[in-house]
Copies of this chain bind each other. A is one copy, B any other.
């Protein structure tokens, strides 16, 4: 039975105390180099791996990091997780998955979050798309001092460590692209307005129009719920406007809504991009499969995951140092400071495909 060794076994084999073995395992400096080599050799020989549970208990903290994800439904989450697992690959930490079934729970959101803290399994938390959980996650950090990083969502101004994108700038990119193509009547299909990112994208849309000297036409703005049906409904409304009021271009707050626009366009026999140009937001996998392929604003999901996890790791690192090296006051000072730098906004990028201008079609097809 391989691997059933304990530190005691190694100590016996090496003829030293358990303490010494523990020291070399934890990279403490105060060990005779010769002894260290001998121990390491034995460790390798017998394939010893320390019991993480035991060391978690004794050390007061585990090597587990929690990842709170809202749902697997969204392909983004998978992309983000991809980045997360890349980042964790060469660390000694492991990932504990907290999945929140979307329904039920309404009342005990707080309990579930608290459970994460109180069960003491994890040493830190990465919260992806917190959505309705955001406030509890924030409190976990603010009130309890638990190391938390939020990925890709934010309460108005982010108050805790956070990695995301500049939704406003992304929306401006989108609208500017349409403006550059000569469009003047540009519609917007909003996301759910209780989300900050929806508000930001809408703001970006408004600003881009204003910068171009265009006024906002309320008839060209509709809420689309971030899903296909919502996009469909919104687009149907646009297409049923009198011809001279119709938009010549649509900026959908996410790709899913844009798919709905394509449905509506097919129904109305509106040609995309000739009759109406279309741009989405996210760059989902499916956006190269729909016809025409969807122009969109790409979010760097994988990078978000990677940076988020790295940020969490660095927080753990610095808190470890601080508690041993610095006075309580100094700790507080440094925390304030590093927190303020713990807001990372990644860049979005414009991906031009056929849905905004026909010429792109041949390019993307040939790139297959």
Contact = CB atoms under 8 A, between A and B. Distances in A.
A161 B10 CA distance: 35
Contacts of A89: 99, 101
Nearest to A285: B286
Interface string A254-294: 00000100010011000000000000000001100111000
B115 A49 contact: yes
A95 B94 contact: no
B85 A81 contact: no
Given A53-B121, A72-B85, A368-B232, A96 B95 contact: yes
Nearest to A256: B289
A183 interface: no
A64 B82 CA distance: 21
Contacts of A1: 144
A193 interface: no
Contact of A120 (B51, B77, B79, B285): B51
A237 interface: no
Contacts of A365: 263, 266-267
A168 to B, nearest CB: 28
Interface in A337-353: none
A75 B73 contact: no
- Counting chain B CB atoms within 10 Å of each CB, the highest count among A47, A73, A94, A228 belongs to A94
Nearest to A287: B289
B121 A101 contact: no
Nearest to A66: B94
Contacts of A49: 115, 118-119
A114 interface: yes
Interface residues of A, number: 57
Interface in A354-368: 365, 368
Contact of A118 (B47, B94, B95): B47
Interface stretch (A54-62, A202-210, A213-221, A314-322): A54-62
Contacts of A75: 75, 78, 285
Nearest to A62: B53
Interface in A54-113: 54, 56-57, 62, 64, 67, 71-73, 75, 77-79, 81-82, 85-86, 89, 94-99, 101
Contact of A52 (B73, B120, B144, B291): B120
Nearest to A77: B78
Contacts of A242: none
A40 interface: no
Contacts of A232: 368
A114 B47 contact: yes
Given A95-B96, A97-B67, A117 B72 contact: no
Nearest to A122: B94
A277 B256 CA distance: 27
A25 interface: no
B2 A114 contact: yes
A96 B121 CA distance: 11
A29 interface: no
